[in-house]
Amino acid sequence: MDIKEKLLAAGGRIWDKKGHRIYLSRIIGKFADIDYYKTGNLHSFAINGERWSNCQGYKLLAAVDRAYYDCDADRFVGLGDYEGTVVNAIENTEIKEA
């Protein structure tokens, strides 16, 4: 299963108004372990089994919030320094197809 198929299997939807994109903000929870307090604040964040500080978790979530996978160019856009981490998490996560 390639990255595009994994993103779609995780619940991503193709947005096609300006090219074909899959935004990551709604599906990042499938590739990371994220827990929140009842107040909505981040309680814990782990990716690939590695615990991150809440500060690092917030930064990654902020980057993912505006990032997307460009299906036409076959690349991620907007992840900056976190691209390798996110790609690794997606590749190492098993998503069951519906």
pLDDT tens, residue order, the chain (98 aa): 789 999 998 888 888 887 899 999 888 888 899 999 999 999 999 988 899 999 999 999 999 888 999 999 999 999 999 999 999 988 888 875 54
Total domains present in the chain: 1
pLDDT at 84: 92
pLDDT at 95: 74
pLDDT at 19: 84
Distance of CA 5 to the CA centre of its chain: 14
pLDDT at 96: 59
Residue 98 lies in a domain: no
Residue 96 lies in a domain: no
Residue-number span of the structural domain to which 19 is assigned:
3-91
Residue 25 lies in a domain: yes
